[in-house]
Amino acid sequence: MSVIKKPLVCFVVAVVAVMLSACVAQQQPQPKSTNPFTSGEVTLVLKKGVTTKSQVIKAFGAPDIVTQKDNGTSEFVYQKNMQLRQSSSSSSYITVLLLGANRDSSSDEQSSKTMTLIINFNKHDVVKSYRSMTTSF
């Protein structure tokens, strides 16, 4: 290979490599949620006539409100408020020979979610019934 062709080939290979890596998009990874107060988790944990009061406390923690009724039954109320925030950003780079362009963008979204879970226990501290309500705004 001649002395002139070798630097030219190296330059062309470098330009092609830069052009192939022209666009790059990044999204920040979101941590996996370990929140037990989702509709799916509630359905998995609570089984009518099976799940005990101690199992409920182990799964969901101490309730916000406990009501003892005259007939020996009881009720747990959980109310959880969550702030959800999603961030993303992207960058684009375009390089043609020695000219270049750069564009950065990012977005930030925030929302609130409230879940109310009411669990009724029978006289033997076993789940008799439950209901949940979720609101998002």
Q: In Å, what is the CA distance from 114 to each residue of 30, 37, 134?
A: 20, 10, 6
Residues forming beta bridges with residue 24, ordered by sequence position: 91
Q: Which residue blocks in 21-125 are alpha helix, DSSP H?
A: 39-45, 53-60
pLDDT digits (tens, 9 = 90+) for 55-103: 999 999 999 999 999 999 999 999 998 777 776 665 555 555 555 555 6
Query: pTM of the prediction?
Result: 0.57
Q: Identify the domain containing residue 53 by its residue range.
A: 5-26+35-136
Residues forming beta bridges with residue 92, ordered by sequence position: 23, 103
Strands (E) in 29-98, as ranges, are 65-68, 74-96
Residue 125 CB burial class (10 angstroms; 0-12, 13-18, ≥19): middle
CA 27 to chain centre: 14
**Residue 100 amino acid letter:** G
pLDDT digits (tens, 9 = 90+) for 104-135: 566 677 888 899 999 999 999 999 999 999 88
Domain count, the chain: 1
